[in-house]
């Protein structure tokens, strides 16, 4: 073999060894560096809108309850009120309308919960037409042709136009000619702007287009949120800015996170049925507690039934040879105990052991031998053997 071939083989060998060493040293791992947003972002549907307004130099604050409504801001500010699970109280409605008449701008969402809700809870005698939007002469209703997969609505104002996607299909109607329709679709009007005194009220059937997009979801194409609305869908951001950037004052984003529970919803719509079902469940559980399982009772008949049950259960296990299995286990433990306490019994045959133990108790050799090695054929024999073993355990 020539020198060149030897050198080539050596080089190939070195390259192979180097590749093998590198393969052993290199570890391939996959690390998902995507992190979900902070807790405050995930639980604030208006977090992205708040940041958008802040970046554009507008003073804004976000709240998850109705506390800011206790002391209303100056009339030069704007209030966005949405996600209400229950209607506003009558007192809150009147103070808001007074604030609007003084020059405030209210953006109010007439969502599905409010559409199906009853009168405000502080005045049960108030008719249903005393809700905020009905006081302004606007009615909310579902169209004859329902749309369940979402719809596109068009806006056009301040020289800008576009489309937003809505999740709710109910529409707004009014006989006020001065009301300006700012959001429409083929079903009807989804947004009105009304002049009230020196201020304005903007009514929307849906404001989900202002929500923070759920960009942290994996496999978003196959999730239910793939078709959801959000601030990044269509022209949602432009429309939100047109609604909230009309004034130089502060913007208050108020969204109620305390949504109504399923039980509250059922009781609200079906109070009589809910009460009857609850009463039936209580009576049913009382019946179960009374008739299922053994229980302690002072009645002699019940105690007799429980005693018969235990006796029959004991006979069943004894006939299945479970009693002899437990008895043999006890015998083995007893013999080890006796051999530890009395070394002279170690290695003794059962007969010799019975003879020694008979001198230490009142039982005879035959009884002790039967208790240590015998097989009981009746329940009486089993009880006798147990008594003898109990005596031997105390030696």
Burial class (CB in 10 A: 0-12, 13-18, 19+), 361: middle
CA-derived radius of gyration, the chain: 42
Three-class DSSP category at 208: helix
Specify the residue for token string 């052993």: 24
pLDDT at residue 321, as a whole number: 63
Both tokens of 172, joined, read 């707004």
pLDDT of residue 125: 39
- The least confident of 25-39, 40-54, 339-353 is 25-39
Query: Quick one: which of 341, 332, 323, 349 has its CA closest to 394?
Result: 341
Beta-strand pair 105-109/160-166: unpaired
Please enumerate in sequence order all residues whose Cβ is within 8 A of that of 318, keeping only pairs 6 or more positions apart, or say none. 379, 382
Residue 41 pLDDT more than 90? no
Tokens standing for residue 27: 């570890």
Q: Phi and psi dihedrals of 156, rounded to 5?
A: -155, 110
Angle, vertex CA 178, rays to CA 172 and CA 182, nearest 5: 50
Determine the distance from the C-alpha atom of residue 337 to the mean position of all C-alpha atoms in its chain, rounded to a whole number. Answer: 57
Alpha helices for 102-235 (secondary structure H): 112-116, 132-135
Residue with structure tokens 């009880």? Answer: 383
Helix axes 365-373, 379-393, angle to 10 degrees: 100
pLDDT at residue 52 in the model = 87
Q: Which two tokens stand for residue 53?
A: 């307004």
47-55 and 236-244 helices, crossing angle to 10°: 70
Q: Residue 25 above 50 pLDDT?
A: yes
φ and ψ of 349, to 5 deg: -70, 155
Q: Residues with Cβ < 8 Å from 214, sequence gap 6 or more? A: 220, 225, 228, 230
Residue appearing with tokens 């609604």: 243
* Mean pLDDT, residues 315-342 taken together: 77
Report the C-alpha gap between 24 and 30 in whole angstroms: 17
Would you say residue 50 has pLDDT above 70? yes
What is the rounded average pLDDT of the residues 67-71? 80
Q: Mean pLDDT, to the nearest integer, of 337-350?
A: 84
The percentage of residues in the chain with a pLDDT greater than 70, rounded to a whole number, is: 76
Question: Does pLDDT of 225 surpass 70?
Answer: no
Mean pLDDT, rounded, for 117-126: 43
Q: Which of 163-177, 211-225, 286-300 has the lowest mean pLDDT?
A: 211-225
- pLDDT, tens digit, 9 for 90 and up, residues 93-116: 899 999 999 999 999 988 766 666
Other Cβ atoms closer than 10 A to 225: 13
- Of 158, 233, 229, 155, nearest in space to 189 by CA: 155
**192 in helix, strand or coil?**
strand
Q: Looking up tokens 């994996």, which residue turns up?
A: 218
Among 67-76, 106-115, 122-131, which is the least confidently predicted range? Answer: 122-131
Pairing of β 105-109 and β 199-204:
parallel
Mean pLDDT of 193-205: 91
């Amino acid at each position: 073999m020539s020198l060149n071939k030897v050198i080539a083989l050596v080089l190939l060998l070195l390259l192979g060894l180097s590749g093998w060493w590198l393969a052993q040293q290199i570890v391939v791992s996959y690390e998902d560096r995507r992190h979900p947003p902070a807790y405050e972002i995930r639980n604030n549907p208006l977090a992205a809108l708040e940041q958008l307004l802040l970046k554009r130099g507008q003073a804004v604050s976000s709240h998850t309850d109705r506390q800011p409504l206790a002391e209303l801001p100056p009339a030069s500010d704007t209030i966005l009120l949405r996600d209400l699970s229950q209607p506003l109280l009558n007192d809150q409605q009147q103070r808001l309308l007074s604030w609007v008449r003084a020059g405030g701008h209210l953006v109010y969402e007439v969502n599905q919960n409010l559409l199906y809700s009853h009168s405000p809870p502080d005045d049960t005698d108030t008719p249903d037409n005393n809700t905020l939007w009905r006081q302004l002469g606007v009615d909310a209703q579902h169209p004859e042709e329902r749309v369940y997969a979402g719809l596109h609505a068009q806006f056009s104002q301040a020289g800008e136009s576009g489309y937003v996607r809505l999740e709710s299909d109910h529409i707004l109607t009014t006989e006020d000619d001065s009301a300006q329709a700012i959001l429409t679709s083929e079903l009807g009007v989804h947004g009105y702007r009304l002049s009230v005194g020196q201020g304005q009220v903007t009514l929307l059937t849906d404001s989900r287009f202002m929500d923070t997009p759920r960009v942290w979801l994996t496999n978003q194409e196959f999730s239910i949120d793939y078709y959801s609305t959000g601030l990044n869908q269509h022209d949602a951001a432009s429309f939100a800015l047109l609604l909230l950037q009309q004034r130089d004052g502060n913007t208050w984003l108020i969204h109620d996170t305390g949504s109504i529970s399923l039980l509250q919803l059922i009781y609200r719509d079906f109070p009589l049925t809910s009460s009857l079902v609850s009463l039936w469940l209580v009576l049913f559980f009382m019946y179960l507690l009374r008739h299922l399982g053994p229980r302690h009772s002072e009645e002699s008949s019940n105690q007799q039934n429980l005693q018969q049950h235990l006796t029959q259960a004991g006979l069943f296990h004894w006939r299945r040879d479970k009693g002899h299995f437990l008895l043999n286990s006890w015998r083995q433990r007893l013999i080890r105990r006796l051999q530890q306490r009395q070394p002279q019994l170690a290695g003794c045959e059962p007969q010799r052991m019975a003879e020694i133990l008979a001198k230490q108790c009142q039982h005879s050799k035959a009884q002790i031998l039967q208790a240590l090695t015998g097989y009981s054929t009746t329940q009486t024999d089993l009880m006798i053997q147990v008594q003898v073993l109990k005596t031997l355990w105390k030696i």
